[in-house]
């Protein structure tokens, strides 16, 4: 993509952000591939077999980093959303919008790999455990943010409404997590001992951390790619922005 082809109308800060993001993407992507390759090598060829779970435990090399990213990205999205609401800064909203789909994908992956790990380990695809249930709720919250943004035509309003919902969600996730844990202790019959996270060898932990860093770098690259798309799409839709932009040119610099 040649940046010179884009004609910038009014966002001076976006004009700088777009090529900056473009320059960062290859570095993030390259580093992501390296870290994930190292993590996979360590995870599959160096890390020993777990004596309790056999080889099935290797799923955690993708499950745990995906779950971490799903939560980390939600907090990041909420931070950008809050920043956007506080400073009335459009790039912050765009950042939040760019983070949401990647976060949702990682949440989906965490759920799927969790089920695939649970089946051989606990004998059930799904267990109503606090962590799994909260992850499911997290997916609903991501979908809520994205759908709310998509169903409001006025972009300025869509940005602010979905940002507000992201903030409401971030307050609620800990409460939901606590309530489901509470519920789980009430219904002992259904719960399975979940502290089955095996006593991990150092290589297992290293492999997991390498994968997590790789996932984080991957997220950076993909989010910046999506940010560029969002910037471009908004730049070429002045009819939607017109009313919002005129009084807000200064806001954008924030």
Partner 1 sequence: MSQAGLGGAVGAIVKRDLLLAFRRRADLSTTVFFFIMVASLFPLGVGPEPGVLRAIAPGVLWVAALLSCLLSVGRVFTADYQDGVLEQMVLIPHPLIVMVLAKVFAHWLVSGLPVVLLSFLLGLQFGLEGDALAVLALSLLLGTPTLSLIGSIGAALTLGVRGSGMLVALLVLPLFIPVLIFGAGAVSSTVSGIGAEANLSLLGACLMVALPLAPWATAAAVRIAVE
Partner 2 sequence: MKWGSLSEFLAMGGYGFYVWVSFGTTALCMVWEVLSLRRRGAMALRIESSEEGINHG
Residues that bind partner 1 (CB under 8 A): 85, 137, 140-141, 143-144, 147-148, 151-152, 157, 160-161, 164-165, 167-169, 171-172, 175-176, 178-180, 182-183, 186
Q: Name which of partner 2, partner 1, none residue 200 binds, using a CB cut-off of 5 to 8 Å depending on partner kind.
A: none
User: Does residue 49 interact with partner 2 by CB under 8 A?
Assistant: yes
CA distance to 64, 117, 134, 181, 249, per residue, from 184 (Å): 22, 20, 12, 5, 51
Piece of the chain touching partner 2 by CB under 8 A; list 61-69, 79-87, 185-193, 196-204: 61-69
Phi (first) and psi of residue 118, to 5 degrees: -70, -35
108 lines the binding site for partner 2 (CB under 8 A): yes
User: Quick check: 243 binds partner 2 (CB under 8 A)?
Assistant: no
Which member of 56, 71, 143, 167 binds partner 2 (CB under 8 A)?
Answer: 56
Q: Which is nearer to partner 2, 83 or 104 (CB)?
A: 104
Over its C-alpha atoms, the chain yields an Rg (Å, rounded) of 21
Short-list 246, 227, 250, 247, CA closest to 238: 246
For 16-64, the three-class secondary structure string (H helix, E strand, C coil) is HHHHHHHHHHHHHHHHHHHHHHHHHHHHHHHCCCECCCEHHHHHHHHHH
Output the CA angle 136-228-173, nearest 5 degrees.
Answer: 20
Q: Which of residues 58 and 90 has its CB atom nearest to partner 1 in the complex? A: 90
Whole-number minimum distance, CB 116 to partner 2, in Å? Answer: 5
Minimum distance of partner 1 from residue 110's CB (angstroms): 16
User: Cα–Cα distances in Å, from 115 out to 6, 60, 128, 139, 149?
Assistant: 45, 11, 11, 15, 30
Whole-number Å distance between alpha carbons of 190 and 164: 36
Please choose, out of 54-62, 68-76, 161-169, 194-202, the segment that lies near partner 2 by the rule CB under 8 A.
Answer: 54-62
Could you tell which of partner 1, partner 2, none binds residue 205, using a CB distance below 5 to 8 A set by kind? none
217 binds partner 2 (CB under 8 A): no
Please choose which of partner 1, partner 2, none residue 248 contacts, taking the beta carbon within 5 to 8 angstroms, the exact cut-off set by kind: none
C-alpha dihedral, 213 to 194 to 50 to 110, nearest 10°: -40
List residues binding partner 2 (CB under 8 A): 1, 5-7, 9, 44-46, 48-49, 54-56, 58-59, 62-63, 66, 101-102, 105, 108-109, 112-113, 116-117, 119-120, 218, 222, 225-226, 228-229, 232-233, 235-236, 238
């Amino acid at each position: 993509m040649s940046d010179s082809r884009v004609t910038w109308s009014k966002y001076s800060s976006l004009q700088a952000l777009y090529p900056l993001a473009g320059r960062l993407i290859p570095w993030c992507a390259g580093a992501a591939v390296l870290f994930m390759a190292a993590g996979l090598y360590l995870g599959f060829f160096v890390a020993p077999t777990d004596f309790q779970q056999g080889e099935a435990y290797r799923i955690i090399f993708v499950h745990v980093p995906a779950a971490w990213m799903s939560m980390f990205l939600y907090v990041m999205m909420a931070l950008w959303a809050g920043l956007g609401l506080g400073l009335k800064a459009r790039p912050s909203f765009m950042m939040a919008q760019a983070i949401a789909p990647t976060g949702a994908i990682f949440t989906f992956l965490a759920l799927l790999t969790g089920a695939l790990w649970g089946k051989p380990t606990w004998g059930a695809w799904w267990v109503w455990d606090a962590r799994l249930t909260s992850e499911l709720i997290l997916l609903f919250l991501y979908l809520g943010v994205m759908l709310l943004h998509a169903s409001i035509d006025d972009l300025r309003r869509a940005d602010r409404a979905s940002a507000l919902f992201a903030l409401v969600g971030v307050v609620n996730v800990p409460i939901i997590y606590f309530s489901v844990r509470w519920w789980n202790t009430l219904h002992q019959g259904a719960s399975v001992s979940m502290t089955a996270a095996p006593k991990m060898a150092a290589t297992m932990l290293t492999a997991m951390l390498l994968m997590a860093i790789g996932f984080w770098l991957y997220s950076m690259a993909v989010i910046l790619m999506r940010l560029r798309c969002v910037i471009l799409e908004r730049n070429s839709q002045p009819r939607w922005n017109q009313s919002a932009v005129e009084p807000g040119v200064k806001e954008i610099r924030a």
